[in-house]
Structures are given as structure tokens and as C-alpha cells.
Chains A and B, each alone.
Chain A
């Protein structure tokens, strides 16, 4: 049994007093997630976030939503996916996604995130180029670039937690933090 998403996020370091900017639960598809990107764009504009920073944030949001969409599509009957954006008093934006992943992929996913977290900007750029050049686009449209792109655009390490869901899948929650003051 998984914890409620807000408890998971609090455990990952999102302050309980942080205000929710946007929440999207299932169903996830390309159309409603596109609308969410539009809403976040509007809210960042209202907060007078500079255009270059806004572009980077929207890039992170889009890649995070693309990832949830692809996974939600694989498990249409399991309504566990979510996307939440929080903002705290210190102008830190928390972008989180939760979705099911096959248990067999969990180990590799954790290893990938840890490698990304240990890499500096130059190493991330190199990794991105290598994956761009050598990776293949899957039938679902996955080029293996989304996480690397998130890592090189966000200002802090990607945090995550894994919770057992059933014999085949686990709930994977990502937390990406953006410090708007230093962006």
C-alpha cells in the first residue's frame, strides 16, 4: 500500500507549508498535460519569472509530464499517477511526478538517477550528446533523453522514492527542485 503522495513529498523534503501551484491526477494524456504546461507558463509569468528561467522550467515540466504520460498509458487501469507543482516561501519550486514502473526496471532507474546526480554540468551535457547520437527512439517515442535533460536543467539533485505496488510494478516518485532565486 502506497503512502498518500503529499506524505511522500514531505518525506522527500517538500515543506508542508509550501503552496500547491498545480495538481494533476489521472487520466494523463498529451492533451491535458499540454494544458497543464500552459497553466504553469501563465503562473510563472504572473510571478514575473524571467523568460530564460521560465523556458528552462517549462522544459523540465514537459519532460516530467511526457514521462508520466508514457507510463500511465502502459497501465491504463491503475490510477496512481500524479503530477504536482509546489512553491515554498523561499521561492523554491518543487516539481514532482509519481507513476508505476515495472519492478524489473527499478534497479536500473535508481542507478541512472544516482549517476545523473553525481555528474557535473559538463558531464551531463556530454551524456546528453552521447544518448542523442547513439540512442534509438522507441515505439512509445522515448529517446532516453528526458531524465538527462531534467538533470541538466534543474539546479539540484533529483530526489526519488520507490514503493512496492504489486508483484509486477512499483510506484516511483521523482522530485525535482528549482531554486528560482538562483536560476
Chain B
């Protein structure tokens, strides 16, 4: 599969999905005008990749800020991972700055709602 890369903007995160170098990450801010339009290709890419690969996937989330629409998108993403969790090796790492309790709690709250392998890690 081809690498998928989207540069960060003030309102959308950087997305990197690189099957060769095994880098799967999103970082930055997320307040997209149209969340469905922005995130749809990412869901499609990840679904196709997980279905076709048996390699371990570590998905890294390093957000500075996101709105509640993005919270819903993130949960949908983790639910996608949950769907494959029984037969694929998928792990999520949620990073937060040491002084960002809000981001730590947001990660714990979201990941607590799904049954997947994850860690919430201070940077």
C-alpha cells in the first residue's frame, strides 16, 4: 500500500500512515470544518491496511488540541481497531505533555471505552 501523508494545518492534524517504515500516527490540532470528509480517507486506508497485513501496528496519537467532533472520530477509530483486535496485533499509544492533564484524561476516557491494547504515556 502507498504511504498516506497529510501535512498539519492550524485546524487539522498531521497524519502519517507509512506501511514500509511502520509509522502510523496523528498529531497536532483537530477542529476540521468537515470531520467526515477529512477523516474518511484515513479510515479507508487503515481498514484496507489492517485487512491485508499481519504485521504489528502501533498507532501513535500526539494531539495538542481537538474538539468534541474529533473525540467522536477518535472513538470510531479505536472501535475500528477493536473490531480487528481478536486476530490482529494493534496497539495504541496516546501521548500527552506532562502539564496537560486535560489531554491525559481525554485519552484515558476514550480508550477506556474500547477493548484494545493501549498505553497513555507522558512525553
Residue numbers in B under 8 Å from A132 (CB-CB)? 71-72, 75, 109-110, 113
Q: Determine whether the beta carbon of B69 is less than 8 Å from that of A129.
A: no
**Distance A128 CA – B75 CA, assembled complex (angstroms):** 13
Q: Determine whether the beta carbon of B113 is less than 8 Å from that of A135.
A: no
Most chain A CB atoms below 10 A, which of B33, B35, B100? B33
Residue numbers in A under 8 Å from B73 (CB-CB)? 137
Q: Determine whether the beta carbon of A143 is less than 8 Å from that of B102.
A: no
Query: What's the least CB distance linking A39 to chain B, in Å?
Result: 13
Residue numbers in A under 8 Å from B34 (CB-CB)? 141
Q: Determine whether the beta carbon of B113 is less than 8 Å from that of A141.
A: no
Q: Determine whether the beta carbon of B68 is less than 8 Å from that of A143.
A: yes
Residue numbers in B under 8 Å from A142 (CB-CB)? 69
Residue numbers in B under 8 Å from A135 (CB-CB)? 72
A-B residue pairs, 5 tightest by C-beta: A145-B68, A143-B72, A30-B33, A141-B35, A141-B69
Q: Assuming A52-B100, A132-B71, A145-B69, what are 15 further A-B pairs, CB within 8 angstroms? A: A29-B33, A30-B11, A30-B31, A30-B32, A55-B102, A66-B69, A129-B109, A132-B109, A132-B113, A137-B73, A141-B36, A142-B69, A143-B68, A143-B72, A145-B68
